[in-house]
Amino acid sequence: MSGMIINDLVFVAVAGFTLLSALGMVLSRNIVHSALALILTFLGVAALFFNLGAGFLGLVQILVYAGAISVLIIFAIMLVMHSEPARTNLFNTSLGTHLAGAYIAALLTLSLSLAIWFSELPQIKGKTVEDAVGMLAQLFMGNYVIAFEAAAVLLLVSVVGAIILARGAKQS
């Protein structure tokens, strides 16, 4: 029983950390601070994965999101920024945007909580999977190999497209 309580405490701490850093991202007026808070959020999500016993997924989260994608985000911000950094992420003060934002937020909250409330959440019994990496590999390279390869081709195409956009087409 005490194990359960410790587990719950860890979850509350990690989830709180994730939510706080997400709030920091939204509320920060400096867009670089926002990006760094986003990294903390990613790390919090990774910790949630660890807490659920999905260590490999948590590490993927760190490697891909916190380690690579966020660097790209920060790079993009730094390259396009030209004004005073402390005023780059200002709040929109018009009433219309406030209302629209509140409406979308309420809609999201409602649909998510309805989805969670009405879906069955069967508890997984039995031992934790020892060789999670091997099983994931079996799924990727076996059952879902076509989807996996399609995603790979999609990424490749977008990378090539980005390179063409960056170099610019020849004027003819």
Partner 1 sequence: METIFINIEEFLTSWMVGMGLAQPWADLIITILQWTIIVLIITVNTIVLVWMERKVSGFIQERIGPNRLGPFGAFQTIADTLKLLTKEDIVPARADKLIFKTAPMFFIIVSVMLYAVLPLGNNMAVVDLNVGLFYFISLASLSTICLLMAGWGSNNKWSLLGAMRSVAQMISYEIPLVFSLLGVVMIAGSLNLTDIVTAQNRVWFIILQPVAFIIYFIAATAELNRGPFDMPEAEQELTAGAYTEYTGMRWALFFLAEYTNLVAVSVLAATLFLGGGHGPWLPSWLWIIIKTYLIMLVFMWTKWTFPRIRMDHLLSFSWKVLIPVSLANILVTGAGIELFRWMGW
Binding positions for partner 1, rule: CB under 8 A? 30, 32-33, 36, 39, 55-56, 59-60, 62-63, 66-68, 70-71, 74-75, 78, 85, 130-133
Closest contact distance (angstroms) between CB of 144 and partner 1 is 21
Closest contact distance (angstroms) between CB of 167 and partner 1 is 15
Q: Which is nearer to partner 1, 63 or 155 (CB)?
A: 63
Scored b (16 or more CB within 10 A) or e, 50-62 reads beeebeebbeebb
Q: Which is nearer to partner 1, 78 or 105 (CB)?
A: 78
- Which residues lie closer than 8 Å to 40 by C-beta, 6 or more apart? 17, 21, 24
Helix, strand, coil abundance in the chain, percent, nearest 5:
80, 0, 20
Q: Which is nearer to partner 1, 137 or 157 (CB)?
A: 137
Q: Which is nearer to partner 1, 99 or 135 (CB)?
A: 135
Closest contact distance (angstroms) between CB of 72 and partner 1 is 9
Closest contact distance (angstroms) between CB of 63 and partner 1 is 4
The amino acid present at 137, given as its one-letter code, is A
Q: Residues 43, 66: contact at Cβ < 8 Å?
A: yes
Closest contact distance (angstroms) between CB of 133 and partner 1 is 6
The amino acid present at 121, given as its one-letter code, is L
DSSP 149-160: HHHHHHHHHHHH
Q: Which is nearer to partner 1, 15 or 55 (CB)?
A: 55
